Each structure stands twice: as structure tokens, then as C-alpha cells.
Amino acid sequence: MGRLATALSGLRSALGAVSYPLVMPSADEARKVGAALLSQLDDYLLPRLARLDAPLLVVVGGSTGAGKSTLVNSLVQAPVSTAGVLRPTTRSPVLVANPSDLNWFGRGGLLPGLVRTGEQSTDPNALQVVGAPSIGPGVALLDAPDIDSVVDHNRKLAAQLLAAADLWLFVTTAARYADAVPWELLTTARLRGTVIALVLDRVPVDAAAEVAAHLGEMLTARDLGSAPLFVIPETPLGGNGLLPEAAVGPMRQWFSQLSADANARAAVVRQTLDGALGALAPALHGLAEAADEQMRTAQTLDERVEAAYRNARRTTEEGLQDGRLLRGEVLARWQEFIGTGEFLRSLESRVGHLRDRLVAAISGRPAPGRNLQVAMESQLVTLLRGVAADAAEQAYAAWQSHPAGAALLEPGLQKASDNLPQLADRLVRDWQQWVLDVVRREAADKRTVARGAAYAVNGVGLAVMIAVFTTTAFIPTGLEVAAGAGSAVAAQKVLEAVFGDQAIRTLATRARTELLARVDDLLAAEAARFTERTATVRLEAEPGALLRRVGAEVEAARKELALTGSGQ
């Protein structure tokens, strides 16, 4: 029994860990089933497994006006449960037991979520516990709310109580025994393996045989033919509001026999408990399927977001390769920085004097260097803001076309985050500083650059940044030619003169890689505004597999325990 208790505890933890947050057709039902299983574990399975010898709980259920409360009062020969013509009459459940059994039901082992009280109550979360010597020890009756009550809480409570029953005493009438709702619950009880007895109430005397025969046929057709059936004829109540003894005598005798026969009670308990445990497997299979569907949907939504931001990254990379960033202000400021005309023409013939010219250009024109840095920053920030805005629109549209995604959206997601401009500014400035720091470290052993001090380092750093705005191999493309290929060549020559050909390529590649890595982080943060909304699903490690595993453990432990002797 210890193995089964451990498996049930594991199942309870698993049910509490798995949620169904995405709006999907299967999610609502899965949440209801999951909540019902948790309630049954707490209300019945765990406490009943811990005490198989506890009194037998008979839950009296049925439709509105079926006469449940009157029946309970008549069986215990006392007005313990309110009965009347107003509906719904039973607002909170009433449990009646022999005084010797009150300790078991009074301490809350069974149905722990209901507050115990010894008085009549209209609190729907209360359980009135009444001692009645007229009911034998070992058996308790619980008068439940109507299964078809107009009050939603009453219907839910009725289902909860029926799931906690060792035996259902189902009450219906000659006028309503064919209604759909009772039969749905009876079918559920049969599938769950619950022991059932039926009461056919208010049967006209002249139609008793016919109605009872028809009900018997319906029971047999639904594999419930072995359920005890008690027929109560239509009869006036006594002055105390109770049914005459002749009407309830056979039922009272049946309960007396159960009270006197511990083995019979144990058989009922074990059959219902085993049936409830056996019904967990198909229920958990359905929950696992729903959890798998949540995971697949979350992955689909995440993939749509990732595709949008991959496009943004690709556009950024292309912008660093096709020369578009060399146009306009950047080109003008670069030419202003290094000097036009004679300086550019002299690069090829007098590379040996390049360092001196670079230092002189920087020392003589500090402002153009700053202007160039600002122009490059502006171009990059503009590019990043554009790709982030496009990605947000694409991701939003992709989610909007999916029901689960649409339910997660809010208007702010349709554009980039409000602080994106500031983040992009900081990204570019930090990257520019990183380039200058790398140049400074690389140039530490080069005495020719060291003589130029900060001016030479700054100039080389700016040239590296310009080189990043072109193809990795510094091969001018058609677009680069249009943007001023001479400037790209000039950047290459500057770097070659100071560091050497291979070092230049390595340095430019490192700078481009670093820039794209920072862009990746920026775009990942933007994408996370979407994907954090599916994180609840993704954080659950294979919830479907978890439910299947704990379900298999419960089933194996159930078969090993063999409550009904068969182990099946």
C-alpha cells in the first residue's frame, strides 16, 4: 500500500505542476479534469487509501426535487436535512453518521476542503456533521446538493461529493428517471467503478411495475443491471415530514446489513477505490495529450517569433555587407576625416608615410573624427530601430493569425519596446568603445602606433569601424562602388599600413562578429516580449511525458495491491 500512496502523491504533484495556459479547445476541459482529479485525490483517494477500515460513505445524489433530503431524514428517522418545496433546498451538504463514527468524519480526513459544523448552515463550503444513533456504525449518509441545480456552485459541489463516495445512492423520480443529466453521471460512475444503488421515488402505484421494468431495462443497457433498485411509491408524508416505514423499510434493512457486515463494507470500499484508481489512466492520457498540444502550440508560436527576429538579424548583417551604411553622412564624414583629393590619391604611392598623415589628420582635425563617429552611430541606430520595428510587426501578425497567439497579444507588442532607441544608442556606443579598446590592446606592441598615442589609436579604430561597414574581405561590390568604394579601400590601406594585411582582416572580422553578437542580444530581448508569454508552458519539462509516467506508476501499484483480488 505504501507504493500506491507514494505513486498517488507523485501524481498529485504532477497535476499541480502542469497547467494549460494557452487558449485552445482542449485546454478548458483539461483544466476541469485536472482540478477534478486533484479534488478526488484529496477528498477521497488519499484519505481512503490511508484508512480502508473507515466507515462507508454513502452519498445521496439526484436531480432537483427528487426527494433526497426527505429520504435521508426518513432513513435516520429525524429531520437532519432541510426539505421543502423551494429550490434549491440543500444549500450545504449534510453528513449523518452513528455517533461512534463522528471522529472519522469530523476531523476532515475525507473532504478536507469543507469546514465542519454541527449546525444547519447555508454556507456552501460547510459540511454539517450530525450524529444519529438510528443509523448503524460503519455507514454514513451524505445528502448532496442537486446535480442539476440552478446554482453553479451546487452542481460543482455535488460532482465533488459524488467523486468522494464509496457508494452512490442515486435518487430519481418516476417523472424524471429518463433525464439526460442523471444518466451522464451514472455512466461516469460505472466507468469509475463506483458501487451504485438507485432509488425510484414517487412512483404511482398503478404504474410501479411498468416504470420499474423500464428503468431496469435502461440500467441493463448501460451495464448497471446489477445495481440494487429501491422503489418508493407515491405516498403522503407523515406529520413529521417523513416517509412511512413501509416505504423505506427495505432500504433501511439493506443499510443495516451493510452496517453489520464488515466484509461487505470492505468489498464495496475496495471495489469503488479500485475503480477510481483504474479510471485515472484514461483521464491522465487525455491530460497528457492536452499538455502535449500546449507544448506543440507554444513551440509553433515561438518559432513564428524566432523567424521574425531571424529576418531582422539577417537584414542587419546584410546592411553591414552591402555598403548601404557607407552612404550619405557616413561617407561625407569619412572623407572629411581623412581628407579628400591628394590624401586619397597618395595612399597607394606613399603607404610608408600613411601613419604620419593619419596622425596629422587627427591631430589637426579632432572635430571631423567625432563627426564621423556620430554619423556611423546614427546609421547603425537607424538600421537597428528599423529591423526591430519590422520584426515586432511580423511577430504580432504571425501570432494574431493563431487563436492561442491572439489571446496572448496586447497592443504594445505591435511595435518595438519603448526603450529600444535608447538601447540601440547604448549598443552602438558601447561597441565603438569596444573597437577602440581592442585597437589599443593590439597596438600596444607597435611602436609606430604608440608614438601617435591616442590620436593614432582613435584614427585606426574609426577605420576599423568603416571597414566593418563593407564586406568581410574588403572586396567592393556594386553597391559599395556606388557608396564610394574608394573609402573602403582607404580604410583597408590605413589598417594595412599599421597592422599588416592579415591582422586587418582579423580585426575587422572580430569587430563585425562582436557587433552582430550585441545585435543578437538586443533582438533576443525584443523577441522575449513575445516568448515570455509562452514560458509557462515551456518551463514544464515534457508535461505530457510526466503525466504518462506518474499514471503508469499508479496503475502498476494498483495492480500490485489487487484491491479486488484480481489485480486487473
Q: What is the CATH number of the domain that holds 198?
A: 3.40.50.300
Would you say residue 306 lies in a domain?
Answer: yes
Q: Are residues 246 and 312 in the same domain?
A: no
Estimate to the nearest angstrom the gap between the alpha carbon of 240 and the chain centroid.
54
Q: Are residues 200 and 93 in the same domain?
A: yes
For residues 207 and 143, membership in a common domain is answered with yes
180 and 132 within one domain: yes
In a domain, 308, yes or no: yes
Q: Are residues 442 and 527 in the same domain?
A: yes
Per-residue b/e over 416-427, b at no fewer than 16 CB within 10 Å? bbeebeebbbeb
3-state secondary structure of 233: strand
What is the pLDDT, as a whole number, of residue 489?
Answer: 55
Residue 334: half-sphere exposure toward Cβ, Cα within 13 Å: 29
Considering only residues 274 and 120, tell me which one the structure prediction assigns the higher pLDDT.
Answer: 274
Distance CA 144, CA 533 (A): 41
∠ CA 500-501-503, nearest 5°, is: 70
Mean pLDDT, range 117-143, rounded to an integer: 89
Number of domains comprising the chain: 2
Q: Are residues 227 and 328 in the same domain?
A: no
* 354 domain residue, yes or no: no
Residues 241 and 304 in one domain: no
Position 64 in a domain:
yes
pLDDT higher at 140 or 475: 140
Q: Which of the given ranges, 46-55, 389-398, 437-446, has the highest pLDDT on average?
A: 389-398
Question: Under DSSP, is residue 167 helix (H, G, I), strand (E, B) or coil?
Answer: strand
| pLDDT score at 370 | 75
Q: What is the pLDDT of residues 238-293, one digit of tens each?
A: 878 899 999 999 999 999 999 999 999 999 999 999 999 999 999 999 999 999 99
* Bigger pLDDT: 425 vs 334: 425
Question: 108 and 232 in one domain?
Answer: yes
165 within a domain of the structure (yes/no) = yes
Residue pair 361/339 in contact by the 8 Å Cβ criterion: yes
Percent of the chain clearing pLDDT 70 (strictly above): 80
CA 4 to chain centre: 27
Domain match, 175 and 83 both? yes
Q: Does a structural domain hold residue 361?
A: no
Please tell me the predicted confidence (pLDDT) of residue 381.
Answer: 93
Ranked by mean pLDDT, which of 218-227, 461-470, 558-567 comes out on top? 218-227
Q: Please indicate, yes or no, whether residues 111 and 182 belong to a single structural domain of this protein.
A: yes
pLDDT at 346 over 50: no
Q: Is residue 102 part of a domain?
A: yes
pLDDT for position 108 = 61
Query: How far apart are the C-alpha atoms of 87 and 229, rounded to whole Å?
Result: 26
Q: Does a structural domain hold residue 200?
A: yes
**pLDDT (mean) for 117-132:** 86
Instruction: State yes or no: pLDDT of 231 exceeds 70.
Output: yes
Give the per-residue SS3 of 503-525. HHHHHHHHHHHHHHHHHHHHHHH
Q: Check if the beta carbon of residue 80 is closer than 8 Å to that of residue 183.
A: no
Asked whether the predicted pLDDT for residue 132 surpasses 50, the reply is yes
The pLDDT-based confidence of 480 (bands split at 50, 70, 90) is: very low
Task: Identify the domain containing residue 237 by its residue range.
Answer: 55-260
Residue 173 β-bridge partners: 201
Give me the sign of the Cα torsion angle 251, 253, 258, 264.
Answer: negative
Q: Is the pLDDT of residue 424 over 60?
A: yes
Do 246 and 325 belong together in one domain? no
CA distance 448 to 497: 10
More confident residue, 452 or 93: 93
Q: What percent of the chain shows pLDDT beyond 90?
A: 50
Same domain, 74 and 222: yes
